[in-house]
Each structure stands twice: as structure tokens, then as C-alpha cells.
A and B are shown apart, each in its own frame.
Chain A
Amino acid sequence: MLTESTARSQVSAILDVEKIREDFPVLKQSIHGKPLVYLDSAATAQKPYAVVEAIRKFHEVDCANIHRGVHELSQRSTAAYEETRGKARRFLNARNKSELIFVRGTTEGINLVASAWGRKNVKAGDEIIISALEHHSNIVPWQILCEEKEAKLRVIPMNERGELILEEYEKLLNPRTRMVAFAHVSNALGTVNPAREIIELAHKAGALALVDGAQAAPHMKVDVQALDADFYAFSGHKVIGPTGIGVLYGKSKLLNAMPPYQGGGDMIRTVTFEKTTYADLPYKFEAGTPNIAGGIGLGAALDYVTAVGMDKIAAYEHELLLYGTEALQRIPGLKLIGTAREKAAVLSFVMEGIHPHDIGTVLDRQGIAVRTGHHCAQPVMDWFHVPATTRASLAFYNTAAEIDALAAGLLKVKELFS
């Protein structure tokens, strides 16, 4: 076990976090007279100047619609927007730019697959597998599909640490399994799932695999080819980009075989009242004027995290998570919810006899922002028999000193309510 001072210096050695914090304007403010301690990055991450600036420049200098018009501004905005697709390709290590579809976020990415792929490929009696630790966005779209098609939804169980039980998963797989959809990292527990293994088993059973990467993409290097993922979705706003923009990766041959998701402008080749032919990938799935500013902002965000280095971010956050885990475990009556051996950036916990909402309010008055509630993962809360938890979630701009502030804040909570 590390001593506190060793751990702190280890955390700070990996990144120049003070320099990074300078780039995030939001972090420089006080809340209720205390320096802001932002520990809710799993809900949404803060944005650096580079992202704010890219969006401002688009609106002030380059604003025009994309993919239409020969005029200068339209060409500039198209180039900037499409450049992000290339950055997203590199970020996920996809083979081809056309395999990256811009969506509103992970939720829309999953809905796109459940709807466009599911409508065509899932029949009565087929089975879809999800896991016990999913966010509602990777449960409900599949429930809707299963209800419509009279297919069966099956759930991989987890153990008391919040890890999926792979032996049980293997038993669920069978020739009727069409899709295995699971989170790379759990938003409520922080569990990092063995994605490569889950996907390989799905493929062996003849099923496809979709990975909800909302909580993984901000914290680790993702390689969709190494994973052999069929679909992979993430949200821009959790990777220090703007809200309303995200990316769905899909293998070309699957995307090509799928019917469109939504109809409209930009997704067509020719339209007559008799027949419409669709555009090639990726445009087939991008109907209507997209979130151009968001796409450009996301490009700046991906540049930023790439420059810092996803490996460094992962290593830094890992040390911070260990430091935080030890700090919270020292608080009497506090119980961590989610203690997987492979974990990322999330400290979810309950305190004996104190409701998370009261914890959240008292922390807020000390300038500390945490999430309280069911984290859009009600089945996870039910499994652990808690109505809600308090969740401190980390990003690479957080510091060990902020963890200390959280621990001190929680001691004040205890004092007030016991």
C-alpha cells in the first residue's frame, strides 16, 4: 500500500495537470465561495479554450451549410466538418473514413443500429444480449426492437464487484443470438469490460457486437480493429467536445447492407416521386443539416486529447482513481459501489444512513460537483439494492488535491447527518 504522499507525487508526475487546467475556463471559478471541484465528467466533461474557439471561429468566420454550394464559406465549413471525420477515424483506428457516421451522441448511435440494422435483421424468436450494467440508452432501444419483432432480450449477469460473469454470458449465446450490445466501461460503476473477449465470443456464435463507448472513449485508447467491434458509439461531449455531436463507427459491409435510418436531404443520390436512390457511406445515414458547429468543435476536442495522449490520460486517471479509492475507503460508513478489478474513472458510493441527495447538496455548498441519483442505470441500482448512489467521476484535469477536498467534504456530510 502506498503512503499518501507517495501516491500524490506519483499522480502528479504523469501529466502537467496545472498547465492543462489553465486551458479549461470553467475550472477557474468559485461556487458558493469555494473553488470549483468538478467531479461529474462522466455526465459531461468540461471544454478547453481550443474547443470553444473552434466553435466561435465557425460562427464568426466560416459559417455556411455543408455539402452544398460552391461558394467559399460552404467549402470552408465542409472541409472543417469533414476533417473531424478523419480525426474520428484516427481516434478509433477505423480502417476507412466512410465508416464513421456523425450522430447526436451515443444514444442516437445505438438507436440507429437498433432501428436500421434491427428492422432488417431481427426476426421473431431471435435473441439480443445486453448486460446487467448497461445505461438506459443501451437497454431501451433493444427493448423497443425486441417488442416490435417478438425477439427475446437476454441479460449477462454481474457479480458483487460489478464485473460481468463471462461463463454465464457463454451460456446465453446460441444460434438465435443476433446481437451482443454492451458498455465498454460502465457509467455507474466504472467497470471496464473485457470487450475483446466478449466480441470474440459473440462472433463465434455468429452474432454481431455493438460497443457503447460513451464512458470508454474519454479515458482510454480505443482501437475498433483490434477489438473487431462491428459497431462502436461514443459522445463528443464526454470527450471534452460540445453536446449534440457523437460518432457511430460501423464496419462498411454492415453499414452498406443496412437500410437508411432517417430520410431527408444529404442522404440521397437522386430523388423522384417514384424512386429515391441513397447516397454512399457515410452520408446515407446523415439526413438533414447536421450539427456542423458541434462537429467542428469535436475535431478540436479530439486534437486536444490526442496531443495530451490517450495513454497518458489513462495512466494519470488510473493513479488518480487509486488515490481516490484509498481516500474514500478511509471514511467510516462509506461503501464503494462497483469494485471491479479493471476500473476507470468512477467512484460510486453510498454512505450509511445518508441519502445521496443530501450528500450532493452539502458537497455542492462546498463547491464540489458530483452526480447523485440512479445515473440512468436503474437496473444496476436494483441489483445493488440501493435507490441511488453518489458518483464522483474523474477526468485528466482533476487533481489529487480535489480528491482531498471531496474526502474533507464527505467528513462534513457525516458530521451534519450523524
Chain B
Amino acid sequence: MVDDLYQEIILDHSKHPRNCHAMEDANRKAEGYNPLCGDKLKLFLKVENDVVRDASFVGSGCAISTASASLMTESLKGKTREEAMKLLDRFHDLLTTESEVGRDLGKLVVFCGVREYPARVKCATLAWHTLKSALNGAASEPVTTE
């Protein structure tokens, strides 16, 4: 029924989110907000020599946004800033275009079902909007999906 959206791995990451904690020694932080549903997210990054050494988040959101943040933080570790930005673009394409599902997205391909649910695309992209803000430097205001 809704298995195309709520794939097992998404349910797993929403019930047991990975890297879901604040980070004391983070050197990049950003906040994301989806005013449509009230979802809030804080992202913490430790970036050294242009490489994301560690990533974590805290926040409250739906299964899709929580799983997205969880899987994103997993996939970021070890990526350079440029690689992370490229991944962000690829992920965005996965959700919004009819293009061929990218092999280099790894586990993130489980979100391909979201494109059939236009009202839920912003749930999946909240963490990634926040990532962009964190990588682009300090934003004084929370980034929003609107």
C-alpha cells in the first residue's frame, strides 16, 4: 500500500535514528525549519581540512524527515565539502526529477518513492537544506524549506 514510500530501511532509521545527538565540538552548525509541518532540525558537523569527519542531528519530525537526516549524516562522513554538495544535488534530483536513479547514491535511493508524494518532498529535503546552510557558513536565521 504505502510500501513504496515507507521502505523497511526508512522505517528502521525513523524508529532508530543514527547520529541523533548534539555535538559538543562541532565547528559547523545550522538549523532547519519546515513551517508547513513545524518540523525542526539542528545539524552539527565537524569539518577538518575540508572533509566532514563527523555529522549528527537533533530535532523532531515525521518518519521521512527523521530517516532522511539519519541516512544523510551516515553518508556524509568522510566526504569532502565538494562531494557533499554533489550528493545534495543528486539527492534533490532523485526526489524531483524523472531521471534515472543514481547508483552512487547508495542507501539514499530508498527515498525514490517520495517523488510520488509531492506533499512529502520537503520532509525528505529538510535535512539537506540544512546541510547546505551549514556548509556555506554561519546562517543567523534557521533555513526554511519555503
| A interacts with B | yes
Q: Check A417 against B62 for contact (C-beta < 8 Å).
A: no
- Least Cβ–Cβ distance between B145 and chain A, in angstroms: 13
What are the residues of chain B within 8 A of A366 when measuring CB–CB?
Answer: 1
Q: Check A387 against B37 for contact (C-beta < 8 Å).
A: yes
A374 to B6 alpha-carbon distance, docked (Å): 23
A354 to B38 alpha-carbon distance, docked (Å): 14
Query: Do A416 and B38 form a contact, CB below 8 Å, given A357-B62, A358-B63?
Result: no
- Least Cβ–Cβ distance between A198 and chain B, in angstroms: 29
Task: Give per-residue flags for A362-381: 1 if the beta carbon is below 8 A from chain B beta carbons, else 0.
Answer: 10011000001110001001
Within the complex, which residue of B5, B15, B61 is in contact with A361, where a contact is CB–CB below 8 Å? B5
What are the residues of chain A within 8 A of B62 when measuring CB–CB?
Answer: 355-358
Closest-by-CB residue of B relative to A363 is B2
Closest-by-CB residue of B relative to A355 is B62
Closest-by-CB residue of B relative to A381 is B38
A358 to B15 alpha-carbon distance, docked (Å): 13
What are the residues of chain A within 8 A of B1 when measuring CB–CB?
Answer: 32, 362, 365-366
What are the residues of chain A within 8 A of B120 when measuring CB–CB?
Answer: 357, 361
Which bucket holds chain B's interface residue count?
A: 20 to 34
Q: Check A373 against B36 for contact (C-beta < 8 Å).
A: yes
Cβ of B84 under 8 Å from chain A:
no
- Least Cβ–Cβ distance between B16 and chain A, in angstroms: 12
Q: Other than A417-B14, A417-B63, give 11 A-B pairs with Cβ distance below 8 A.
A: A32-B1, A355-B39, A357-B62, A357-B120, A358-B62, A361-B120, A362-B2, A372-B37, A373-B37, A387-B37, A417-B11
What are the residues of chain A within 8 A of B15 when measuring CB–CB?
Answer: 417
Q: Which residues of B contact A (CB under 8 A)?
A: 1-2, 5-6, 11, 14-15, 36-40, 60-64, 117, 119-120, 123
Q: Which residues of A contact B (CB under 8 A)?
A: 32, 354-358, 361-362, 365-366, 372-374, 378, 381, 387-388, 416-417
Q: Check A388 against B38 for contact (C-beta < 8 Å).
A: yes
- Least Cβ–Cβ distance between B69 and chain A, in angstroms: 13
Q: Check B63 against A355 for contact (C-beta < 8 Å).
A: yes
A357 to B60 alpha-carbon distance, docked (Å): 12
The 8 closest A-B pairs by CB, nearest first: A387-B38, A355-B62, A357-B62, A365-B2, A358-B63, A358-B62, A365-B1, A388-B38
Closest-by-CB residue of A relative to B63 is A358
Closest-by-CB residue of A relative to B36 is A373
Question: Can you give 13 contacting A-B residue pairs, CB < 8 Å?
Answer: A355-B37, A355-B61, A358-B6, A358-B62, A358-B64, A361-B5, A361-B119, A361-B120, A362-B2, A387-B60, A416-B2, A417-B11, A417-B15
A381 to B37 alpha-carbon distance, docked (Å): 11
A387 to B59 alpha-carbon distance, docked (Å): 12
- Least Cβ–Cβ distance between A75 and chain B, in angstroms: 46
What are the residues of chain B within 8 A of A417 when measuring CB–CB?
Answer: 11, 14-15, 63
Q: Check A357 against B5 for contact (C-beta < 8 Å).
A: no
Q: Check A373 against B2 for contact (C-beta < 8 Å).
A: no
Specify which of A356, A357, A373, A374 lies most central, judged by the most chain B CB atoms within 10 Å of its CB: A357
What are the residues of chain B within 8 A of A362 when measuring CB–CB?
Answer: 1-2, 6
A362 to B6 alpha-carbon distance, docked (Å): 9
A361 to B3 alpha-carbon distance, docked (Å): 11
A387 to B37 alpha-carbon distance, docked (Å): 7
A99 to B123 alpha-carbon distance, docked (Å): 46
Q: Check A361 against B2 for contact (C-beta < 8 Å).
A: yes
A417 to B5 alpha-carbon distance, docked (Å): 13
A254 to B116 alpha-carbon distance, docked (Å): 52
A416 to B4 alpha-carbon distance, docked (Å): 13
A32 to B6 alpha-carbon distance, docked (Å): 16
- Least Cβ–Cβ distance between A412 and chain B, in angstroms: 8
Q: Check B37 against A388 for contact (C-beta < 8 Å).
A: yes
- Least Cβ–Cβ distance between B47 and chain A, in angstroms: 30
- Least Cβ–Cβ distance between B43 and chain A, in angstroms: 18
A355 to B2 alpha-carbon distance, docked (Å): 16
What are the residues of chain B within 8 A of A373 when measuring CB–CB?
Answer: 36-38
A362 to B1 alpha-carbon distance, docked (Å): 8
What are the residues of chain A within 8 A of B11 when measuring CB–CB?
Answer: 416-417
Closest-by-CB residue of A relative to B123 is A357
- Least Cβ–Cβ distance between A184 and chain B, in angstroms: 26
Specify which of B2, B64, B120 lies most central, judged by the most chain A CB atoms within 10 Å of its CB: B2
- Least Cβ–Cβ distance between A324 and chain B, in angstroms: 23
A366 to B1 alpha-carbon distance, docked (Å): 8
What are the residues of chain A within 8 A of B5 when measuring CB–CB?
Answer: 361
Closest-by-CB residue of B relative to A418 is B15
A372 to B40 alpha-carbon distance, docked (Å): 16
Q: Check B38 against A374 for contact (C-beta < 8 Å).
A: yes
A372 to B117 alpha-carbon distance, docked (Å): 15
What are the residues of chain A within 8 A of B117 when measuring CB–CB?
Answer: 361
What are the residues of chain B within 8 A of A374 when measuring CB–CB?
Answer: 37-38
What are the residues of chain B within 8 A of A355 when measuring CB–CB?
Answer: 37, 39, 61-63
A355 to B41 alpha-carbon distance, docked (Å): 14
A32 to B5 alpha-carbon distance, docked (Å): 14
A32 to B120 alpha-carbon distance, docked (Å): 17
Q: Check B6 against A387 for contact (C-beta < 8 Å).
A: no
Closest-by-CB residue of A relative to B61 is A355
What are the residues of chain B within 8 A of A32 when measuring CB–CB?
Answer: 1
- Least Cβ–Cβ distance between A80 and chain B, in angstroms: 38
